[in-house]
């Protein structure tokens, strides 16, 4: 008896997804709760688990198809067979040097390397981004030790294996000259080689996540009256505080003290003085929040995702850093949930980790402001009448001018600058 596999509930207001990749093929053994397909939604990629143990049956949709919540995408056939049905060999045995053929559309199983370690089944369950990386870098995923959740292979694992494979590649050997052949009346064709200036193109369908990001960013530009204001911050005090307490902090809390906690706390302090930065427009009403839910951009295999730190104004430095580290790890493993990326009231984007000096970030509706952090670099500044070198960072606040006046935007950045240049303000609430 076959069990239907349906598209699970995807989250609030999300009714449709795109089938990114099949992780199991018909005939493959499937354990209960084992992922059989990967879905791409507007916000994240998530796996569809098998409701029962058995054998993968019919695939009712193709990769790239749109599917609705509750739609049947596959069936799981009953049976405890641990292996797929063996291929049927051709009636005519192959001759010496010939490759055996299979009947119909059957595929020969891949033999395990003799003496090699058996690869875990979870390592072969690949997300769309990992599958693409495997194909582009020509590596064998079964030989890669996964560092993701439950030992799954991540994109970083594939890239690391590709680098190691290139480093171990032997130098090309010189082929022996071919023996002379019988003369021919037709002139020999010159050897064909790739042109040095060959131009190539590749068309790749945009993922649902990228389509949604593109649409929402354009909607933000079309709807909001966006403006960006800038300031710079002397990071000397923050860097000295980190250097002085980082070892004690990590020993006590089990997490490194980063820059983001300082900025989140400073934003919470500034938003209390300038509440419009943490507000939003709903029709002809302004919604003010007495809490600060900070969306933080983190890297994931499919691109940047923006999980939310809830009630950031009430969290300690250790709680903020622990939450951010957890988001980063689960973003790489692809295990962030949709609920964790909904409902932010303010966004902080750290382009400095990629080397950005200055930018004008785009707000994420319905939010009304986004703070852009940038790289820290020593620049000459005047202090006490003397020109000195100080570690400086540019801050950029993009905001919706329909709600936030220029005076309020500048005041918000000044409050953040004061708190970061004198972190004691964060402790005594000034």
Quote the pLDDT of residue 339: 83
Residue 189 has phi, psi (to 5 degrees) of: -75, 140
Determine the Cα angle at 166 with ends 163 and 170, to 5°: 155
Q: Is the pTM of this model over 0.85?
A: no
Show which residues are catalytic: 401, 405
**Spacing of C-alpha 415 from chain mean position:** 32
Residue 238 has phi, psi (to 5 degrees) of: -65, -45
The SS3 of residue 364 is: coil
d(CA 321, CA 371): 18
Quote the pLDDT of residue 262: 95
Quote the pLDDT of residue 176: 47
Burial class of 3 by CB neighbour count within 10 A (0 to 12, 13 to 18, 19+): middle
Please name the helix (run of DSSP H) or strand (run of DSSP E) that holds residue 330, with its range, or none.
Answer: helix 317-333
The SS3 of residue 411 is: helix
The SS3 of residue 158 is: helix
Quote the pLDDT of residue 238: 94
Considering only the C-alpha atoms of the chain, give the largest distance between any 2 of them, rounded to a whole number of Å.
95
135-140 long-range CB contacts below 8 Å, 24 or more apart? 137/161, 137/162, 137/165, 138/162, 138/165, 139/165
Closest CA to 367 of 289, 299, 263: 289
Q: Is 8 left (phi over 0), alpha (psi -120 to 50) or beta?
A: beta
Q: In what order do the strands lie in the sheet with 45-49?
A: 45-49, 35-40, 16-22, 66-68
The 10 Å Cβ neighbour count of residue 347 is 23
d(CA 134, CA 157): 10
d(CA 89, CA 108): 10
Q: What is the DSSP letter of 278?
A: G
What domains are defined for the chain? 1-83 (2.40.50.100), 118-162 (4.10.320), 227-428 (3.30.559.10)
d(CA 217, CA 115): 52
Quote the pLDDT of residue 145: 82
The SS3 of residue 108 is: coil
Length of the chain: 430
Quote the pLDDT of residue 332: 82
d(CA 392, CA 407): 23
Quote the pLDDT of residue 42: 67
**Spacing of C-alpha 109 from chain mean position:** 32
The 10 Å Cβ neighbour count of residue 302 is 21
Please name the helix (run of DSSP H) or strand (run of DSSP E) that holds residue 164, with its range, or none.
Answer: helix 155-168
- Consecutive 10-residue averages of pLDDT for the chain (430 residues): 84 75 88 87 77 90 86 84 41 45 38 36 58 75 77 80 77 49 50 69 79 81 91 95 92 92 95 95 93 89 82 94 92 82 91 90 92 95 93 96 95 96 81
Q: Give the C-alpha distances (Å, rounded to integers) separating 99 from 87, 88, 107, 108.
A: 14, 14, 13, 11
Report CA torsion sign: 258, 264, 267, 272.
negative
């Amino acid at each position: 008896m076959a069990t239907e596999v349906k598209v699970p509930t995807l989250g609030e207001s999300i009714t449709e997804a795109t089938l990114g990749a099949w992780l199991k093929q018909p005939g493959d053994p499937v354990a209960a709760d084992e992922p059989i397909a990967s879905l791409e939604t507007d916000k994240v990629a998530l796996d569809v688990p098998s409701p029962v143990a058995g054998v993968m049956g019919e695939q009712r949709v193709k990769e790239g198809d749109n599917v609705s919540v509750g739609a049947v995408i596959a069936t799981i056939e009953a049976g405890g067979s641990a292996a797929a049905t063996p291929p049927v060999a051709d009636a005519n045995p192959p001759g010496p040097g010939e490759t055996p053929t299979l009947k119909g559309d059957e595929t020969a199983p891949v033999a395990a390397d003799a003496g090699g370690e058996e690869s875990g089944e979870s390592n072969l369950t690949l997300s769309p981004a990992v599958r693409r990386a495997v194909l582009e870098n020509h590596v064998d995923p079964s030989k890669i030790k996964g560092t993701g959740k439950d030992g799954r292979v991540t994109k970083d694992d594939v890239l690391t294996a590709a680098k190691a494979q290139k480093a171990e590649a032997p130098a090309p050997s010189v082929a022996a000259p071919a023996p002379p052949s019988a003369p021919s009346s037709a002139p020999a064709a010159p050897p064909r080689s790739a042109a040095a200036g060959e131009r190539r193109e590749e068309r790749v369908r945009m993922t649902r996540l990228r389509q949604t990001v593109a649409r929402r960013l354009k909607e933000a530009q079309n709807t909001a009256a966006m403006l960006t204001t800038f300031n710079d911050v002397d990071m000397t005090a923050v860097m000295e505080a980190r250097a002085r307490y980082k070892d004690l902090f990590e020993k006590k809390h089990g997490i490194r003290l980063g820059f983001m906690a300082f900025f989140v706390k400073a934003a919470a302090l500034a938003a209390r003085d300038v509440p419009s930065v943490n507000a939003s427009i709903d029709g002809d009403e302004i919604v003010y929040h007495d809490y600060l839910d900070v969306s933080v951009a983190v890297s994931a295999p499919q691109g940047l995702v923006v999980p939310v730190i809830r009630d950031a104004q009430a969290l300690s430095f250790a709680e903020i850093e622990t939450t951010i580290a957890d988001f980063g790890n689960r973003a790489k493993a692809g295990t962030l949930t949709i609920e964790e990326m909904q409902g932010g009231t303010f966004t902080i984007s750290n382009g400095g980790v990629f080397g950005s000096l200055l930018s004008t970030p785009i707000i994420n509706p319905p939010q009304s402001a986004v703070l852009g952090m940038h790289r820290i670099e020593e620049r000459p500044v005047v202090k006490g009448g003397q020109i000195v070198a100080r570690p400086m960072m540019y801050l950029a606040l993009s905001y919706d001018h329909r709600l936030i006046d220029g005076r309020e935007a500048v005041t918000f950045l000044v409050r953040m600058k004061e708190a970061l240049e004198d972190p004691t303000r964060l402790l005594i609430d000034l």
